[in-house]
Structure 1
């Protein structure tokens, strides 16, 4: 890597200079775990956060951490699991083009990582949420992430692996508060409202970060290493236009600060990026409704087993199927959904015949009638064309209802916008030790990264819990690496 005059220039005139062994940029889950590990390795740690408090997008998430292989929480619930089954499921669900080397290390270390999280403040109650959902509405500590659904159930023995903090729905704040408290107790010094601007590079090594605090210049020097943990780039339309234009115009799942700054700082220092086109997409759907009915595209065709993790059928619907995509259910299917999971939503359209419903939805009537006929025939014989299990498979009977999704069709439903939502999965190219690699594949001295500013485990697929899992696991490696440099 070649220095430039701007890289190696001295600190800005009048800039306040702070020095520590390790400087961590960003205090979401990757950053806080990096900071804890570095501090526990004996390093002094300065953590920079652009917001007025730590947590980042991790604090606004569902809080799931995808872990398996026989964790203490799984064992307490009598759930048998192996590293091999966890790896087989994730390889299929996160692919194609998932990072096999990182997956292998992540799965092999999942039990230890579970125990580390618990030892550092995470709580996972011995309670299982047993039905499809985005996020449990109670304090369950474990949930299914589509492991029981075909084709995955034939590739790996199913086991529930979604570990969750004891809080309903959006539980990420609970997890992040616990980890931040541990970081504070280990002596990590967190500076908030600090906007990192560029890396300081001297003699080919990253030695610090230039930043501003309310417009005032700051320089943070790292005697051992810098860790970037700044999040993705979904909030940066310029970067989306360049790297992931299919995400433009969609709602953003973030804390509003996933601006790609860490990725561009790394690139300016010579870092390579990887899989920048990859995104995760979600829609306004009720998984408990979807699994009891049919998900059909604009040609009135089913295209996936409705029992898989919701993120997988959302991504397929938005990016790979003609719109509009509808959830087709019957009266019994709606009645079977617990009131707390139905969110008060009634069908947008209802009809006594499937042909009438098709007309209301703008779908081809003959095609939808044929899809219903084939679905009911499979339900009657117990042999669904997409592998839906007997737990959720039964013939649909009139009257029928239709719920819209975020893949084409109406713009709003029950007063809520139906635009699909998402975030980015690509980023800086890192190795299994979280070292940032340059364009020739060589580590950049003094620089580590983890979390959504990197390309982590993921290929074209996504399972909730793998972002927090990936970020925390490889964040720990980044912290240890930087502290030992």
Structure 2
């Protein structure tokens, strides 16, 4: 067998989880190959499109400061960040997943969420706080912003920065004795198996299949860019939603692993789906897609094309509701809605709203006409909502302020219930954008893939979106990248040690 087709560890995928796995396997002495379906220009999977919040435990701003890059350190005076404990993280994860998240996997995630930040920092990842990207710093006019502590840290320059940092770390291994090899335009096609044992990966090239042998770490994503699988598992209309990320997450290797006997787990009928600009590209475009999220709905109201509200915009911090709000929009007529704000809230909209096409009007009647909604219906909705809002000066945009509507309306607003009565008014058209799917392969706490009988499949690990069991119904912002990195690091270490142990016995 040619040495070109023989490696200790083969990582299938090219995003955050994959590269953490590759770097970890390499530092534990393995000869590593990364196969990436995309070209070098398009590498990085969904991670390249991510906002890059990493949900992690920490002891407050003081503990975060030493890990901020030089540019970000200059901005610490803009924000206050309270500690985020393991108990906080566990509560948030359990609440959004309705208690269905796997306890053992969750425990590892919580324990390793801060160590992975430190490890990635040492690999060259540049960190900053989320203050400038997710809050309107200019609109606060010098006020200190209380950043939601669970979503306090992110990678500088978002997904592009994350991928650049991680690939730079991979490329630096070329100067040592054990370089990581990368093959682009090299999609995984199938697993090479002998019973439950995974021996390697069959890759699909233009004129042939090429078999590569070694322990396999699947980090190839879910099925977010496969319209047939979305329609099959997520339901009616999901084949038509906007795709926020890479076009390469087609679910191929996920399906091949299941065919080989891997057990499925998780919420296959749900996905991370959030409000996006209605005019955004149907498939991820790195020049546009990262700039079109519309997550400030808590500061106004959202109505469908019939002029009706359809969810509680102030249920929780946006970081804990945005990933389920997309589905609510997808379920509306035309999968379309409008976020409406008045002058009390417009200064709170994050910078990303500058890429939208705002629809301005001096009155609600005029706004209804401009957005093509029944004037009578929108007027009634706004009047009923306004009448249900309290008379209070306790509005706090950066805390759960308890400013809620009364029970005179069917759909409440639990926080930030300001009247919509200070014109001019503005509306932003939004739709549903899918980020990643929740269903996947069941793994143990070492990221080993389990078969249908619950036993580990020798030679196979699964990390990132291809591994299920942690997210159900909803998702706490930033937990996905943390999960991918944590278990990518674990899988890389375990696969390397397993392979080297087997080699020493030969």
Match of 1:369 in 2: 383
Q: For residues 120 and 355 of structure 1, do their structure 2 counterparts lie closer, same or farther at Cα, with a shift above 3 Å needed?
A: same
User: Aligned partners of 2:372, 2:185: CA distance in 1, in Å?
Assistant: 51
- Provide TM-score, normalisation by structure 2: 0.76
SS across alignment from 1:284 = strand
Do the aligned residues in 2 keep the contact of 1:69 with 1:84 (CA within 8 Å)? Answer: no
1:399 aligns with 2:423: yes
Match of 2:300 among 293, 296, 312: 293
Matches within 5 A, 1:203-214: 203-214=195-206
Q: Partners in 2 of 1:135 and 1:48 — Cα distance?
A: 41
Offset, 1:463: 3.2
1:239 aligned residue: 229
TM-score by length of 1: 0.79
Contact 1:380 1:395 (C-alpha < 8 Å) held by counterparts: no
Distance in 2, Cα, partners of 1:419 & 1:288: 12
| Counterpart in the other structure of 1:60 | 49
**Distance change (3 Å), C-alpha of 1:266 and 1:333:** same
Is the Cα contact below 8 Å between 2:270 and 2:472 reproduced in 1? yes
Distance in 1, Cα, partners of 2:195 & 2:351? 59
Which residue does 1:476 correspond to in 2?
489
Asked if residue 257 in structure 1 is aligned to residue 277 in structure 2, the reply is no
Distance in structure 1 (CA, Å) of the matches to 2:13 and 2:138: 28
The 3-state SS of whatever aligns with 2:470 is coil
In the alignment, which residue of structure 1 is the partner of 2:404?
Answer: 384
Quote the residue 1:333 is aligned against.
Answer: 345
Confirm or deny: 8 A CA contact 1:300 1:364 kept in the other structure: no
Unaligned runs of 5+ in 2: 66-75, 140-144, 174-178, 278-292, 396-401, 406-411, 499-506
Secondary structure of the corresponding residue to residue 443 of structure 2? coil
Query: Mean alpha-carbon deviation: is it higher for 234-243 or for 40-49?
Result: 234-243
Query: Kindly tell me: are residues 450 and 213 of structure 1, through their superposed partners in 2, closer, same or farther at Cα, counting changes over 3 Å?
Result: same
Structure 2 Cα separation of the partners of residues 375 and 422 of structure 1: 34
Q: CA deviation at 1:367?
A: 4.1
Q: Deviations over 1:262-304 (max 9, x none)?
A: 1012012111222222211122367575333223455335523
Written as runs of structure 1 = structure 2, the 5 A alignment for 1:135-174 is 147=148, 159-167=149-157, 171-174=158-161
313 and 343 in structure 1: CA distance in 2 versus 1, 3 angstrom threshold: farther
2:104 corresponds to which residue? 101
Q: Report the more deviating stretch, 106-115 or 75-84.
A: 75-84
Q: Is the 8 A contact 1:20 1:44 kept in 2?
A: yes
Q: 1:48 to 1:80 in 2, by over 3 A?
A: same
How far apart, CA to CA, are the structure 2 residues paired with 1:328 and 1:175? 33
CA contact (8 A) 1:428 1:436 kept: yes
Give the direction of change, closer, same or farther, for the CA distance of 1:72–1:262 in structure 2 (3 Å limit): farther
Alignment partner of 1:267 is 2:278? no
Deviation at residue 364 of structure 1 after TM alignment: 5.6
Residues 13-48 of structure 1: per-residue CA shift (max 9 Å, x gap): xx9961111111112111111111111111111111
In the other structure, the counterpart of 2:166 is: 179
- Write the distance in 2 (CA, Å) between the matches of 1:240 and 1:195: 20
* CA 1:341–1:444: 2 relative to 1, 3 Å: closer
What whole-Å deviation, never above 9, does each CA across 1:209-248 have from its counterpart, x for those lacking one? Answer: 11133323311111xx211111111222232232223421
- What displacement does 1:193 show? 1.6
Q: 1:69–1:51: structure 2 CA closer, same or farther, 3 Å change rule?
A: same
**Equivalent residue for 1:411?**
none
Q: Is the CA contact 1:96–1:460 (under 8 Å) kept in the aligned structure 2?
A: no
- Determine the C-alpha separation between the residues in 1 that align with 2:368 and 2:331: 24
1:65 alignment partner, SS class: coil
Q: Does 1:308 align with 2:318?
A: yes
Q: Which residue of 2 aligns with 1:70?
A: 59
Question: Structure 1 residues 434, 452: CA separation in 2 closer, same or farther (over 3 Å shift)?
Answer: same
Return 75-84 or 353-362, whichever deviates more: 353-362
Partner of 1:45: 32
What is the match of residue 155 of structure 1? none
Given the superposition, is the C-alpha separation of residues 233 and 421 from structure 1 closer, same or farther in structure 2, using an over 3 Å criterion? closer
Distance 1:405 1:100, change over 3 A: farther
Deviation at 1:456, TM superposition (A): 4.9
Q: Call closer, same or farther: CA 1:378–1:270 in 2, change over 3 Å.
A: farther
**Secondary structure of the structure 2 residue equivalent to 1:175:** helix
Match of 1:437 in 2: 450
Partners of 1:434 and 1:449 within 8 A in 2: yes
- 1:190 aligns with 182
Q: Once structures 1 and 2 are overlaid, which stretch shifts more, 182-191 or 88-97? A: 88-97
Aligned equivalent of 1:4 = none
